[in-house]
Amino acid sequence: MPVKIHLKTTITQDRENEKYELMLLGEYYQKGDAAFLKYNEELEEGTVHTIVKMSEESAVILRSGALKMRLGFHKDVEKNGSYESPYGTFLLSTKTKKIEHKNIGNNEGQFLLTYDLMMQGASSGKYEMLITYKEA
């Protein structure tokens, strides 16, 4: 199902806030007890294909193409992930503080994720990601 996606990310590091906002077209579908959002981002390096898998207690963000990354999320659990760059593969880990998926119906909903991100064991900041989607 085609959907409009509004993605807002706030990164807090050393008391500094960075905010990113994207409006995208993508797809929403359900498979079993999980919901999926699929979308593409155009970056200088090329196209990045993103899949967000959301279930009640956990989530996974997979990115492929010009950028390769895998991040897993589960409330109050540290999950390992990875980020591939031209300089090699970096180990990432997330500690999820809040995970909330509200499906309003008619292929409309909201997904909120708050987590700490570590790269190679060092803090990369606190992230808050809010994705809202509705039928296009």
Q: Write out pLDDT tens, residues 27-59.
A: 999 898 899 999 999 988 889 999 999 988 899
> pLDDT-derived band of residue 24, with 50, 70 and 90 as boundaries?
very high
Q: What CATH number did the domain enclosing 96 receive?
A: 2.40.128.20
| CA gap 39, 18 in Å, rounded | 22
pLDDT at 132: 96
| CA gap 21, 38 in Å, rounded | 17
Give residue 122's domain range: 2-135
Give Cβ neighbours of residue 14 (< 8 Å, ≥ 6 apart). Answer: none
- The number of domains in the chain is 1
Neighbours of 50 (CB within 10 A): 20
Q: Write out pLDDT tens, residues 92-128.
A: 999 999 999 988 877 899 999 999 999 988 999 999 9
pLDDT at 105: 78
